[in-house]
Chain A
Amino acid sequence: MRRVKERWGGATTRNTGDAGADRARAGAEGGGRAAARRTQAEQRESRVAAGLSELERWLADQIGQGIAQARQTGPADWDDLARRLVDAQTPGVAGTVTRLSRVLAAEDWPGLLLAEYALLHLLAVAHRRAAALPEPLRQTVRARVGFPVTRESVLATPAVPDHWDVVGCRDEEQDRLVARRVWLAGRTTGRLAMVLSFSPVGQPLESFPPPGTTIDADLAFYPGASPLRALVAERRNLVDAGPPPGTKVSQVPALIAEVLAADPWTDSWPLVLDGAVPCPDGLADDEGNALPLHPSAGVPWRLLAVSGGRPVTVAAEWTPRGLLPLTAWDEEGGVVRL
């Protein structure tokens, strides 16, 4: 453990470096903003590179020594690590590390923790070798690490016009902010999208048409190998289109394989399933195939009630540990938020 602490001692140096950056910023007022921004960007690159190479060594240390004690020592170690990763300007990685303690509640936590460590390692290595990656994957890696992408740059890319079904919406509170995820599915393009918005707790979120509606809109996607996050570039009217078309339960594994092949760090992907029969612990089809629900979903009583044991159209969020139901369409075409 001491070895690790010594290595992380480098953070102090980086803090002095921060002061240097301030001086550089102050000096740049006279010398041109562009130059200052360049310096800032370069500094960020080197800070991130240093932070991630330290992360690589930290992970190797953990695996070298064994993770058997993670239930006792993990949470404190991870808090410490997350703080240093924030200092290293890698908020994406810091967020993943902060969420590590969630796996400890599960019975199979050693496997879940190894999976998380392995994917962090993969990300750090991918960033180190970023120059050799194809451009979309390089963008995915940078986004996962936490490099910001401006709205303007996203809106500057060609937008995708379609009739988009709003298939799910979920609000989650994190750090005094409410994060709203709205998932969309394009009728013509078959593309899936997720629009993310934030607002302080207690303040109303930007309104969005509710699940079950269909909007005629242009979406601009954030760059990446498996693009999902998007902005609404232009919104026209609501369209009356009925329940969205869906995928068969049996097609889901191939679909997810394709997504993960492009972006192995994907931990959330929307699905619209057609002809799915809800069960107490999963979604089945009439051939005996089934997809498990996430353990935190519990028994989906309202979804079961809507289905009555018959096939329905269901939108759900795929996660590595199972599905989280979002929306169901009942026999009469009514929409039920789950």
Chain B
Amino acid sequence: MTRAVPGGWEAGRVTWEELVSTALVGADRRAVPPESLLERAAEQVVRMRAGRRPGRGGPPPPAAAETLPLVPRAAADRLARMLAGEQGRLLTEWLETAAARRVRVPAEMIPGLLDLGARDRSIRAYLGAVTGARGRWLAGLNSAWTYLLAEPAHVPPDEVWELGTSGDRRAFLTALRRRDPAAARELLERGWSAETPEDRAVFVTILADGLGMADEPFLEAVLDDRRREVRQAAADLLTRLPRSRLALRMTARARRFVTGSGSGLRAEPPSACDGAMERDGVRARPPAGMETRGWWLQQVVAHTPLSFWPGHLGMPPGEIAAARIGDWEREVRMGWTRAAILQRDATWARALFEAEPLTDLLAVLPPEERSHRAAELVAGHPVDGQMVMMLGGVPRPWGHRLARAVLKKIVETTRNQPWNAGELIRLAGERFDPAMHEHAGEVPELAATLRFRFDMLKELA
């Protein structure tokens, strides 16, 4: 401490940065009394804390006004409880119902819901509707939530087709297609080449609503699209039009590959997958584990109008579905199954289901019949993973016959193998008509879930 205290130190003209750097290296080294440094620092700290001027802020631009009404208070409170974990499996139904009723959730719940949507794609479409203008505004501020901008929201404004997000544009096209199918297709054709491949694929599927021969020239042209998903979507629609050029080309192929043979049928797969077949949506590369030619055969059958077969083979669908085919039987049946689903043909679905009860086919049947057939399966099967999976494919709400069969099964299983009933009880809780809560008293857990849904839907009504 031979040097004098640096100038200005005692007079308080020292800067905060100087004080910090002196404290770091040590006041002794700079010949400053430590007490004096601490006193200067205390003064400055208080002055800095007290004298902190407001910074220059950059608030985000305000969100657009909401166009949908808020959900009723009781429904919002229930949603908050569900987000906290109560009956969390029913969240999807809450969101779906709220979206259909065209109401929006309270703003403070939106961040939690958008976090859920970031992990779970299945609820994103509902979130697009129920989070309203505030949800889209938030999605613009947080990169983890931008997925929301691809989901349709309700009530698109006038310039939405030119300026809207892709979600808004999809919603707009869907609504226009429902009102005026030709106008929707013409609008699409005008700017087709400028659309992104993802949008092109989705836009084509929107044409499924009100599909007719007037759409055929456009869809036929789309078969030349650069992107496979877009071509595939167009081909899937064209198979639903038996007089389309694609249907006729497929029919010509199918005529050669599957023929009548005495009382049975005979199949001969294509020897090659040429450019014309690929253009019509046949994929050359089979999925892993599948024989290449069989794969081609299956796709040709899947894209041939089902109305072609009875005349060609001289049998009604019921007999065709049950007929022995010999080699390639599996591929041809899979082709018909896929065709029944694509072409939504209940007659064929029924016939194929008789031959082999594939749950995918249930979706094509009218609800009452679907319930009836699923009920028969439930009655004749033990509770196992396969049954739960089959029932998982039957959408909500289950008809009375199926519900009664499942309830009976649950009661039996609870008595004999209680460890096996849990998953079925949970599934039943999600899919039964909630009005059945009064009849499920034998299974308290099921009754509680149904009662919860009953109240939940009443609040949202």
With A118-B38, A260-B49 as known contacts, state yes or no: A304 contacts B57, CB within 8 Å: no
Does the CB pair B54–A253 fall under 8 Å? yes
A277 at the interface (CB under 8 A from B): yes
Q: How many A-B residue pairs have CB under 8 A?
A: 152
Contacts of A62 in B (CB 8 A): 34
Supposing A65-B26, A65-B28, A301-B111 touch, asked if A309 and B137 sit within 8 A by C-beta, the answer is: yes
- B45:A115 contact, CB within 8 angstroms: yes
Please determine whether B107 and A305 come into contact, CB atoms closer than 8 angstroms: yes
Q: Is A306 part of the contact surface with B, judged by Cβ < 8 Å?
A: yes
The answer to the question of B60 belonging to the interface, with a C-beta cut-off of 8 Å to chain A, is yes
Q: Which residue of B lies closest to A336 (CB)?
A: B108
B42 touches A309 (CB 8 A): no
Q: Which residues of A contact B191 (CB under 8 A)?
A: none
Q: What does DSSP make chain B's interface, helix, strand, loop or mixed?
A: helix
A217 to B391, CA, bound (A): 60
Check A118/B52 contact, CB under 8 A, given A110-B23, A304-B138, A330-B107: no
Residues of chain A within 8 A (CB-CB) of B423 are none
- Shortest CB-to-CB span from B75 to chain A, Å, is 15
Contact A308 B50 (CB under 8 A): no
Tell me which residues across on chain B come within 8 A of A277, comparing CB atoms: 57, 59
Fill in one digit per residue for A43-68: 1 if any B CB lies within 8 Å of its CB, else 0. Answer: 00000000000001001111111111
With beta carbons under 8 angstroms apart, the residue of A66, A256, A284 that contacts B49 is A256
In the complex, which residue of chain A has the Cβ closest to the Cβ of B114?
A301
Interface residues as binary, A274-315 with B (CB distance below 8 Å gives 1, 0 otherwise):
000111101111001111100000010110111011100000
Which of chain B's residues 1-49 have a Cβ closer than 8 Å to chain A? 16, 19-20, 23-29, 34-35, 37-39, 41-42, 44-46, 49
Give a binary string over A178-211; 1 marks a CB under 8 Å from any B CB, 0 the rest.
0000000000000000000000000000000000
Closest to B53 in A: A253
B138:A59 contact, CB within 8 angstroms: no
* A63:B108 contact, CB within 8 angstroms: no
> Among the listed A121, A292, A306, which residue makes an inter-chain contact with B35, where contact means beta carbons less than 8 Å apart?
A121
Are B54 and A63 in contact (CB-based, < 8 A)? no
Q: At the interface, yes or no: A117 with Cβ under 8 Å from chain B?
A: yes
A240 to chain B, nearest CB (A): 17
- The one of B28, B54, B63, B108 in contact with A249, judged by C-beta atoms closer than 8 angstroms, is B54
Which residues of A are found within 8 Å of B50, using beta-carbon distances? 253, 256-257, 260-261
Given A63-B34, A121-B35, A284-B59, A264:B42 Cβ within 8 A: yes
Quick check: B16 and A63 within 8 Å, CB to CB?
no
Cβ of B51 and Cβ of A67 under 8 Å apart? no
A36 at the interface (CB under 8 A from B): no
Which chain B residues lie closer than 8 Å to A305 at the CB level? 107-108, 110-111, 134, 138
Chain A contact residues, CB within 8 Å of chain B: 56, 59-68, 110-111, 114-115, 117-119, 121-122, 125, 249-250, 252-253, 256-257, 260-261, 264, 277-280, 282-285, 288-292, 299, 301-302, 304-306, 308-310, 320, 328, 330, 332, 334, 336
26 interchain pairs, CB-CB under 8 A: A59-B38, A60-B35, A63-B23, A63-B38, A110-B23, A114-B20, A114-B41, A121-B35, A250-B54, A253-B50, A253-B54, A257-B50, A261-B50, A284-B58, A284-B59, A285-B57, A288-B56, A291-B54, A291-B55, A301-B138, A305-B138, A306-B108, A308-B107, A320-B49, A330-B107, A330-B108
9 closest Cβ pairs, A-B complex: A290-B57, A284-B57, A66-B26, A289-B54, A118-B41, A308-B63, A257-B50, A309-B62, A301-B111
